[in-house]
Amino acid sequence: MKLIYQTAASVVMTAIIIVSVASVKAVSPIDLNTTTSVLDQTKNLIPRRDISDDLAKEFQEILDKNRQEAGEPGKGGVPGAVLAVISKDKGTWFGASGVADIQTGMPITPDAQFRIGSSTKTFTATVVLQLKDEGKLSLEDKIDKWLPGEMVDKITNGRNITVRQLLNHTSGIYDYADSGNEAFYTAVNQNQSREWKPEELVAYAYGKPSFSGKRCEEGAEKIQWCYSNTNYVLLGIIIEKATGSTLKSEIENRIIRPLRLNNTFFEFQTDEVFGGIVSCYWDINPKDGIDEDTTSLNMSLAWATGNMVSNAGDLAKFTKALFRSNLLKDDTLKEMLTPYEPLLSATQGEISYGLGVWYDKLSWGEAWRISGNGAGTTSVSWYFPERRLTFVSLANQDNGADYTLKVREAILKALLE
């Protein structure tokens, strides 16, 4: 396959174009300035004042430089990236760099729609906590109150696990998406259009020892914490049991519609997403250094833990609404934002996990993070409460963590120093 790669330091367009593998669709015309920052003409982006021209130019240069230095697109590099910076003091900026699709070379735009991977978990957790606020469930409920007995009995220590432990990853339940679970990834590769049932995902955890798998760090059992996607699949099942409705309907009716997140979707298939999504690249099979196009992958394989689609504007809006108590009662939000201890060492500080959100202790201050990989994308939203600052980074490559951290540091240095 011949790869077409286009560098876009800035894109001047009169229409926003969203790219999917199956189609390219133009939506209503808007204007972009010379740094690809979106002007306030779109309903999907939060109201704001633009940052200074000098700072906008510096941000664009930082975005372009870091994306280009991340490597060759299609071989581990980042083909396209979007950033959003919303600062109470400095204003707001949306920018884009690179391409939405390697083969066509179509430039990416600031309102491009991405899979957001495990950022979906925060939506799922928010619904669970809203049900807690409504008295429909308790975080101390044992999961056997909500889940079938035959399912719970096949999960190690299942009868003693609580809803809270699912939310904060202290259940010890094996992660069905663990990199060592070859049976799961073989099944995915054999039929990438397969629609998975939640129960089929949970079944990979049956009989597995607590705090086992490659994902669990050494000493995970000692600190009683290990990240597991299975936890959030179970939470999705609990939501449906507690409400008598589908998880999709609950997320749409409780979060997406009230916040008017017009570019956010709970869909499995790319062709079911209005406007499509950017192409997704992931070195899934084999691990040969070449990124496969995984855009058409059926994301039912992630369901409550990672199947949603959104864009930078909607994620910024959701992030601010959540952390400013617009979706949860104050006491419940405080519970959500109580990090599990001990804090874990990370590349640029210390990290921990609350109830569906990450806690980062950085040199720039404390931040709450909503993040994930979306089988070909990387999605991260930070909220710095003391600075009233929201930062969103999206990239259409699955292993974009290093790029994301570097571009965040450079942007924050330019903004805050």
Query: pLDDT, tens digit, for every residue of 371-413?
Result: 999 889 999 999 999 999 999 999 999 877 889 999 999 999 9
- Pairwise CA distance, residues 202 & 156, whole Å: 12
E strands, 303-384, in order: 308-310, 344-346, 349-353, 358-362, 365-373, 378-384
Q: Find out whether 310 and 264 touch, Cβ atoms under 8 Å.
A: yes
The count of residues in the chain is 417
- Contacts with 279 (C-beta within 8 Å, 6 or more apart), sequence order: 19, 20, 21, 79, 100, 101, 102, 103, 293, 295, 376, 396
Residue 4 has pLDDT above 70, yes or no: no
| Other beta carbons less than 10 A from residue 285's beta carbon | 14
pLDDT band at residue 284 under the 50/70/90 scheme? confident
- Answer whether 234's CB lies under 8 Å from 158's CB: no
Sheet arrangement for strand 91-98: 91-98, 80-87, 389-395, 378-384, 365-373, 358-362, 349-353, 344-346
359 pLDDT above the threshold of 50: yes
Structure tokens at 408: 């965040």
Q: What share of the chain in percent tops pLDDT 70?
A: 87
Q: Is the dihedral of CA 338, 340, 346, 350 positive or negative?
A: positive
User: In terms of DSSP bridges, do strands 358-362 and 365-373 run parallel, antiparallel, or are they unpaired?
Assistant: antiparallel
Mean pLDDT, rounded, of the chain = 87
pLDDT attached to residue 13: 25
Does the pLDDT of residue 80 top 90, yes or no? yes
Distances, alpha carbon 247 to alpha carbons 61, 120, 126, in Å: 41, 12, 12
140, 229, 170, 391 alpha-carbon torsion, rounded to 10°: -90
Asked if residue 47 has pLDDT above 60, the reply is: no
Q: How far is CA 243 from CA 71, 146, 150, 237, 406, in A?
A: 46, 11, 21, 10, 42
- Determine the pLDDT at residue 5: 23
Pairing type for strands 308-310 and 265-266 reads antiparallel
Res. 7: pLDDT tops 60? no
- The answer to whether the CB of 127 falls within 8 A of the CB of 134 is no
pTM, 2 dp: 0.88
